[in-house]
């Protein structure tokens, strides 16, 4: 097919940059509109510097025509103003939402028809406490302006792979590659019934571009294949070549020791409480796969994120996981 005109709102941070790169690789014309504070635009893309909080942020792009707009924002005001400005000059709008929009995470295998959280009424999400509500509001703004036939809502699961500065997918392979304990022991949650579900950032970006080419519309769980936590950790261990002891610890023991779930300081990434999060990382992704989403093996994602972690600097300040000292202290009390 001929080259399409893509407008990526963002395009300089992690996912936006991958989307821009994927579209360029397919021969499309790409313009990124962003503040430019999160990184540089990939070579080959045009760049328009704009603050989405400022009046007139979309004036320059609203005077052009676009085959597809891709938006990854979490701020309802950003999306509301963008769709208002662009609904008359863009053929379709692709919004990267999140599976956090769902109101309930108890049920494994839930599909896109599951109930959503109430949409945030404010234009600004003040904290991550209302992330799901903010993304739900963004979805509604897109659908109100573009309708169901011109909009793609991609509810992403946990995004991983090279460049994951959230540290949720890189923590485990890096820890297995560099154990905290002198004997090579690695502390892991003993949670055999907990699912994980990672989508490689490169696979998500490639699918969004493909969906634009095919004029795909609708709501999709853009998520990886569910995998139980022990199997995920074993793949991370294999990627790292770890041969030391693995020390499974009961979830209640970890909670009593003050270890946090999922992310943040003093946490174990991917670990979540059961049964309330039994369905959080086991969403039904069949609709997205049927619409062309191709998923690489998790082993490849983990190997690649480990290589990126080692190149980026394993000792950089981290946003998730236990420090070496914290893990050693926990292991010493077992």
Tokens representing residue 230 in the block: 């022990």
What DSSP assignment string belongs to 27-44?
A: T-EEEEEE-S-S--PPTT
For 300, what's the count of Cα atoms within 13 Å in the CB-facing half-sphere? 9
Altogether, the residues listed in the chain come to a count of 334
CA dist 201 and 13 (Å) reads: 12
User: Phi and psi of 247, rounded to 5°?
Assistant: -115, 95
Contact 100, 131 (CB under 8 A): yes
pLDDT (0 to 100) of residue 1: 67
Q: Hey, what domains does the chain have and what are their CATH numbers? A: 5-156 (3.40.50.720), 162-196+227-281+297-332 (no CATH)
Q: Are strands 246-249 and 264-265 parallel, antiparallel or unpaired?
A: unpaired
SS3 state of residue 188: strand
- Name which of 102, 292, 270 is nearest 211 in CA terms: 292
CA dist 217 and 115 (Å) reads: 20
Residues in the chain, pLDDT under 50: none
CA dist 42 and 44 (Å) reads: 6
pLDDT (0 to 100) of residue 12: 78
- Name which of 128, 121, 69, 67 is nearest 95 in CA terms: 69
CA dist 16 and 156 (Å) reads: 14
Q: Which residue is associated with the tokens 């990854």?
A: 72
> Residue 185 burial (CB < 10 Å; 0-12/13-18/19+)?
middle
CA dist 141 and 77 (Å) reads: 9
pLDDT (0 to 100) of residue 318: 92
Contact 159, 201 (CB under 8 A): yes
- Name which of 255, 278, 279 is nearest 267 in CA terms: 255
> How many C-beta atoms lie closer than 10 Å to residue 232's C-beta?
22
CA dist 298 and 71 (Å) reads: 26
Tokens representing residue 233 in the block: 């950790």
User: Phi and psi of 136, rounded to 5°?
Assistant: -60, -40
Contact 159, 199 (CB under 8 A): yes
SS3 state of residue 181: coil
First to last CA, the chain: 61
């Amino acid at each position: 097919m001929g080259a399409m005109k893509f407008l990526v709102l963002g395009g300089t941070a992690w996912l936006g940059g991958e989307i821009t790169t994927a579209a360029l690789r397919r021969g499309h014309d790409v313009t990124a509109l962003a503040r430019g504070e999160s990184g540089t635009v990939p070579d080959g893309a045009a760049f328009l510097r704009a603050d989405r909080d400022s009046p007139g942020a979309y004036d320059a792009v609203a005077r052009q025509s676009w085959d597809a707009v891709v938006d990854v924002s979490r701020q309802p005001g950003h999306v509301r103003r963008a769709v208002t400005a662009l609904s008359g000059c863009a053929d379709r709008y692709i919004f990267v939402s999140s599976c956090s929009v769902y109101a309930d995470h108890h049920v494994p295998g839930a599909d896109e028809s599951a109930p959503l959280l109430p949409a945030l009424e404010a234009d600004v999400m003040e904290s991550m406490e209302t992330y799901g509500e903010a993304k739900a509001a963004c979805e509604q703004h897109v659908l109100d302006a573009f309708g169901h036939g011109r909009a793609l809502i991609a509810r992403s699961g946990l995004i991983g792979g090279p460049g994951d500065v959230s540290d949720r997918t890189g923590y485990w392979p890096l820890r297995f590659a560099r154990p905290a304990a002198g004997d090579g022991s690695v502390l892991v949650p003993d949670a055999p019934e907990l699912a994980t579900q990672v989508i490689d950032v490169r696979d998500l970006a490639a699918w969004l571009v493909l969906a634009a080419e095919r004029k795909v519309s609708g709501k999709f769980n853009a998520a990886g294949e569910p995998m139980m936590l022990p199997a995920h950790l074993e793949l991370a261990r294999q990627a790292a070549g770890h041969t030391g002891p693995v020390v499974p610890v009961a979830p209640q023991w970890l909670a009593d020791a003050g270890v946090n779930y999922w992310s943040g300081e003093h946490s174990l990434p991917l670990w979540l409480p059961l049964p309330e999060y039994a369905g959080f990382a086991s969403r039904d992704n069949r609709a997205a796969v049927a619409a062309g989403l191709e998923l690489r093996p998790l082993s490849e994602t983990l190997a690649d994120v480990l290589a990126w972690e080692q190149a980026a600097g394993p000792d950089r300040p981290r946003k998730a996981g236990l420090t070496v000292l914290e893990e050693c202290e926990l292991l010493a009390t077992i």
